[in-house]
């Protein structure tokens, strides 16, 4: 696998946020019409080939001008950060208010993070967001359906609209993030729509690189952070699917895998199943969170059906529902661990098992869910809680 390719002059634009002035992929050289002393020059349009320098700093030029859809979510932050810190120009496509991308503005050099408003149902706004980019990354996803958007609206029609616009704009690399467990025949609406979305994207852009990550772990994730809130504020932990197996992947490792995929032309047109180094059951994971947060609330293992019904009826009234029927279906019906039949894995993106963060090393952020008295406590995994914790 080729990594850390050197940037050529093609993308060397003035670093003044001049992204909207010039199309990077269509640079012409030698446009003299014969009036110059050296005689006529042949006009040459350079072939499209992306050259990326992964090793520069934020004031260097990586050669990437990327539009990131879904950048305002949990994982988007990691992607924009990785792109910005090697000196890329990043068009942050957002749909909400201007405050939704505010935290991303500091992730690149001055003027290099460019916001572009879009509506996933309006192709013209999508076209506008991709027109000057040589890379498009689609991270748009929903974990549960709402009145306004179904899974198909976002994972299928939305993904198709983004892929079409990227194709028309002639972008050089298209990275589509799906999910491990995506399966057209799944009983989970999420898994099914993700699989159909992949197929639609592949039809439009055969060279798209599709990444299917397992549950991602990191600050503000939807797994450990959610459990952290539950152990901290619920009187007891209502647990379901305690034997379901997960293979969580650190969001930072996923971001590294994505950048490696971008830098390697060999990943064009391939699918990757990406999972972490360890398999954890729901029971083990929730107990781990309880230990790390030094809480000792009781766990109540409930059958799935009533919890699903309760979630289904309450989730529409809650801003951040802890359980949703769609997510429970996904955990219940989809395979959340790496299949032995997976063709391409994270190792094919240059990360060995030893490079990956374990749950223990990546879950330091769980400290924020401790009571103030326990913030500085060192948790002894073997004996679970230290003396101080026991007496507290």
Ligand X SMILES: NC(=O)c1ccc[n+]([C@@H]2O[C@H](COP(=O)([O-])OP(=O)(O)OC[C@H]3O[C@@H](n4cnc5c(N)ncnc54)[C@H](OP(=O)(O)O)[C@@H]3O)[C@@H](O)[C@H]2O)c1
Query: Which positions lie near ligand X, rule CB under 6 A?
Result: 70, 72-76, 95-96, 100, 120, 139-143, 149, 154, 177, 179, 213, 215-216, 221-222
Q: Residue 191 and residue 347: Cα distance in Å, rounded?
A: 24
Residue 101 Cβ, how far from ligand X at the closest point, in Å? 9
Q: Residue 210 and residue 213: Cα distance in Å, rounded?
A: 10
Residue 137 Cβ, how far from ligand X at the closest point, in Å? 10
Q: Which is nearer to ligand X, 25 or 251 (CB)?
A: 251
How does DSSP assign 305-353, residue by residue? HHHHHHHHHHGGG-SS-SS-HHHHHHHHHS--S--TT-SSBGGGGT--G
Structural contact between residues 137 and 120, judged by C-beta atoms closer than 8 angstroms: no
Q: Which is nearer to ligand X, 63 or 218 (CB)?
A: 218
Structure tokens at 155: 């994972």
Residue 159 Cβ, how far from ligand X at the closest point, in Å? 9
Q: Residue 260 and residue 110: Cα distance in Å, rounded?
A: 25
Which of 325, 40, 66, 18 has its CA nearest to residue 173? 66
Q: Which is nearer to ligand X, 215 or 338 (CB)?
A: 215
Q: Which is nearer to ligand X, 140 or 208 (CB)?
A: 140
Q: Residue 218 and residue 363: Cα distance in Å, rounded?
A: 7
Residue 304 Cβ, how far from ligand X at the closest point, in Å? 20
Which of 215, 391, 379 has its CA nearest to residue 290? 379
Residue 248 Cβ, how far from ligand X at the closest point, in Å? 8
Q: Residue 271 and residue 176: Cα distance in Å, rounded?
A: 9
Residue linked to tokens 């996933």: 120
Residue 306 Cβ, how far from ligand X at the closest point, in Å? 25
Q: Which is nearer to ligand X, 86 or 217 (CB)?
A: 217
Q: Which is nearer to ligand X, 226 or 312 (CB)?
A: 226
Q: Which is nearer to ligand X, 61 or 126 (CB)?
A: 126
Residue 251 Cβ, how far from ligand X at the closest point, in Å? 8
Residue 152: how many CB atoms within 10 A of its CB?
Answer: 15
Q: Alpha-carbon torsion 222, 344, 84, 47, what sign?
A: negative
**Residue least distant from ligand X (Cβ):** 73
């Amino acid at each position: 696998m080729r990594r850390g390719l050197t940037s050529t002059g093609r993308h060397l634009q003035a670093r003044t946020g001049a992204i909207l002035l010039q199309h990077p992929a269509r640079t012409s050289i030698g446009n003299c019409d014969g009036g110059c002393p050296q005689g006529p020059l042949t006009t040459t349009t350079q072939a499209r080939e992306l050259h990326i320098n992964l090793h520069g700093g934020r004031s260097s030029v990586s050669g990437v001008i990327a539009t990131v859809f879904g950048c305002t979510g949990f994982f988007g932050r990691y992607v924009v950060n990785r792109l910005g810190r090697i000196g890329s120009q990043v068009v942050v496509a957002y749909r909400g208010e201007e405050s939704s991308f505010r935290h991303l503005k500091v992730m690149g050099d001055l003027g290099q993070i460019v916001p572009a408003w879009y509506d996933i149902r309006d192709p013209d706004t999508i076209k506008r967001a991709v027109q000057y980019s040589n890379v498009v990354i689609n991270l748009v996803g929903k974990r549960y359906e709402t009145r306004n958007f179904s899974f198909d609206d976002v994972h299928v029609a939305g993904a198709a609209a983004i892929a079409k616009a990227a194709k028309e704009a002639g972008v050089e690399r298209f990275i589509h993030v799906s999910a491990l467990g995506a399966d057209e025949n799944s009983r989970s609406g999420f898994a099914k729509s993700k699989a159909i979305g992949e197929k639609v994207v592949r039809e439009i852009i055969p060279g798209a690189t599709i990444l299917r990550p397992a549950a991602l772990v990191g600050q503000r994730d939807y797994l450990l952070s959610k459990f952290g809130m539950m152990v901290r504020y619920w009187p007891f932990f209502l647990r379901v699917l305690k034997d379901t197996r997960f293979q969580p992947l650190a969001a930072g490792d996923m971001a590294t895998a994505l950048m490696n995929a971008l830098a390697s032309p060999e990943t064009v047109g391939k699918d990757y199943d990406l999972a972490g180094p360890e398999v954890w059951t729901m029971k083990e994971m929730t107990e781990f969170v309880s230990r790390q947060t030094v809480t000792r609330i009781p766990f109540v293992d409930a059958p799935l059906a009533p919890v699903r019904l309760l979630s289904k009826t309450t989730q529409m009234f809650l801003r951040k529902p802890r359980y949703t029927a769609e997510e429970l279906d996904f955990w219940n019906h989809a395979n959340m661990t790496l299949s032995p039949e997976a063709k391409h894995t994270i190792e094919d993106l240059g990360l060995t098992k030893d490079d990956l963060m374990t749950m223990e090393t990546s879950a330091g952020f769980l400290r924020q869910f401790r009571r103030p008295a326990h913030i500085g406590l060192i948790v002894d995994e073997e004996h679970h809680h230290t003396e101080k914790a026991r007496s507290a």
